[in-house]
Structure 1
Amino acid sequence: MSTDTFKVKIGINPIGWSNDDLPALGGETPLSTALSEGRDIGYQGFELGNKFPREPAALRELMADYGLEVVSGWYSGWLAERSVQEEIAAVEPHLRLLTENGCKVMVYGEVADSIQGERSTPLYKRPRFRDEDTFKRYGERLTAFGQHLLKHGVRLAYHHHMGAYVEAPEDIDRLMACTGDEVGLLFDSGHAYFGGGDPLAVLDRHIQRVCHVHCKDVRPTIVQHARNRQWSFLDAVLNGVFTVPGDGGIDFAAIVATLRAHGYRGWLVVEAEQDPAVAPSYAYASKGYRTLRALVDAPLQEIT
């Protein structure tokens, strides 16, 4: 059995310091705090948030000052409603920001009809495609859009997400079936669990398409409350549904072992939106890093 080094990088999303969807959570925390603390913990890079510069040179200079890489950045896509050409025109500034900062993947989140940012709307009201033909046409547009990104050296990393069209495991299955290899999968362990699935089973089924990984843990009791009490996505976040690897109910040893066994070579990104007043940013970011670092560095036979 191979014990070769697992050649991945460990990054983090700034959402544990300052939340984009809920600005009241850490809104007062400057970006410099997140970058300096993340660097000191040991993270190699950051995904983008709303406090980062949007001009490529300025972003490059900022990250160089901290010795950090730009991992990727969320793009709010509307391909469920608009044409491929409209999306290509809309993505240009963001695509340039990523390409000029060395990113190899783009986090694509479908926001058409999404309720993920609506605190008053319970998750059961999330959108669904009305029939298979509609889903198929959506997949065709995604594939064409992914082809465009690949021409610029960036792969589309589709983020299945609570409150959106692609939430549950069966949605992910359908998405992968109706798109080409140009569309990669962003595997998010927390959203896979919250969406009603076994994260490891989802990963096993689609490992060949996984091009980016969000390492998010969950508190299973809060997931149950969110479903039973018909919470919105944002209410679930406020009540602590997510946490960092090693602090919840997901078996990250099995996830890391699967990624390693299949030769995954991308980023592992800690992304766990929480209220920093309840879950102090540095302490939780450090716990998430230590958990992943130990699993990544361990000989293969120790984690299987």
Structure 2
Amino acid sequence: MLDKNKVSLGIAPIGWTNDDMPDLGKENTFEQCISEMALAGFKGCEVGSKYPKDAEVLKRALDLRGIQVCNQWFSSFLLTKPYEEVEKEFIAQLEFLKTLGAKVIGASEQSYSTQGKLDQPIFVDKYVMNDDEWVKLTDGLNRLGKVAKEHGMTLTYHHHMGTVVQTEEEIDRFMDMVDPELVYLLFDSGHLSFAGIDPEPILRKYVKRVKHVHLKDIRKAKVEEARKNNWSFLKGVREGVFTVPGDGDVNFAPLFKVLEESGYEGWVVVEAEQDPAKANPFEYAKKARAYIAEKTGL
């Protein structure tokens, strides 16, 4: 069981509307999305492309439904843009999130990322950084982490399929090189599983440095199709590689146990990008909520 006084449960809007493929869920409005989140029993959410850009307008809509923003994706380009340009965008997002009461910002390096390329197989030709790029990335993130700390926020890093930090070796090297007081891990069960990595040992190794958790499930049969047929990441999303916890093949019991034993404090967030026409987001949100309540007591 997880401690309700320490752990909060949220859900990401990507099940309703896909920011990378706007045709998925184009019929679903912002108001429908957050209302269904609340009806399904979630208290927190991340930020999607249909959310109002005015923080006060957004906060008012969320407050009406008892929903709290807990995190927002930040695309960093530390390898391919001047640091000052990245920092300016980062600070703007920090200030937006602070207005909404969030404590965490989730960065992912998007230089050379293949996750958004429709014609790029996700298991082929992923970019691999050289030693100088490793230093440039981790030094840049340490600087951003310091900026976040000065704003009363926490920088977490999202390892992700198709990016420069995807494999177990890359995660280990990353965690070894960043400052543990400035850069934390955003742990994602689905991306590890998609990459063929057992998520439990990773969580057990780094749980004390995890400040945000994505609960994402996978369908192993679809992952194998993706590998066999050279699907892109987004093709995999369309075909149902991901699903909500309890509906796929990830074993969440040991993950919940590690979080419990470590005394984890923070948000755990259901994130499962699918085609809403095939997987009704409200139905799947309720399914995830019931499963997590049963397994964790949240």
Query: Scaled by the length of structure 1, what TM-score is found?
Result: 0.93
Q: Percent identity?
A: 40
Note the residue ranges of structure 2 that are not aligned, 5 or more in a row: none
- Which moved further from structure 2: 187-196 or 135-144? 135-144
Match of 2:193 in 1: 193
Aligned pair count? 296
Q: Which runs of 4+ in 1 moved over 3 A?
A: 2-6
How far apart in 2 are the matches of 1:3 and 1:44? 16
How far apart in 1 are the matches of 2:284 and 2:165? 28
Cα pair 2:46 2:71 within 8 Å, conserved: yes
Cα pair 2:2 2:259 within 8 Å, conserved: no
Name the aligned partner's letter for residue 152 of structure 1: H
Match of 1:245 in 2: 245
Match of 1:69 in 2: 68
Shift of 1:267: 0.6
Name the aligned partner's letter for residue 70 of structure 1: V
Show the 5 A alignment for 1:71-220: 71-123=70-122, 124-129=124-129, 131-181=130-180, 182-220=182-220
Match of 2:42 in 1: 43
Note the residue ranges of structure 1 that are not aligned, 5 or more in a row: 299-304
Cα pair 1:6 1:296 within 8 Å, conserved: no
Name the aligned partner's letter for residue 223 of structure 1: V
How far apart in 2 are the matches of 1:208 and 1:147? 19
User: What SS is found at the alignment partner of 2:127?
Assistant: coil
- Which moved further from structure 2: 170-179 or 76-85? 76-85
How far apart in 1 are the matches of 2:24 and 2:287? 20
Q: 1:82 to 1:258 in 2, by over 3 A?
A: same
Cα pair 2:2 2:256 within 8 Å, conserved: no
How far apart in 2 are the matches of 1:139 and 1:93? 21
Shift of 1:83: 3.8
User: What SS is found at the alignment partner of 2:268?
Assistant: strand
Shift of 1:277: 1.1
Cα pair 2:2 2:297 within 8 Å, conserved: no
Match of 1:52 in 2: 51
CA RMSD, Structure 1 to Structure 2 (Å): 1.6
Q: 1:137 to 1:249 in 2, by over 3 A?
A: same
User: What SS is found at the alignment partner of 1:71?
Assistant: strand
Shift of 1:5: 5.4
Match of 1:254 in 2: 254
Name the aligned partner's letter for residue 189 of structure 2: S
Shift of 1:216: 0.2
Name the aligned partner's letter for residue 165 of structure 1: V
Match of 1:301 in 2: none
- Which moved further from structure 2: 183-192 or 92-101? 92-101
How far apart in 1 are the matches of 2:90 and 2:187? 22
Match of 2:23 in 1: 24
Cα pair 1:6 1:297 within 8 Å, conserved: no
Match of 1:302 in 2: none
User: What SS is found at the alignment partner of 1:127?
Assistant: coil
Match of 1:286 in 2: 286
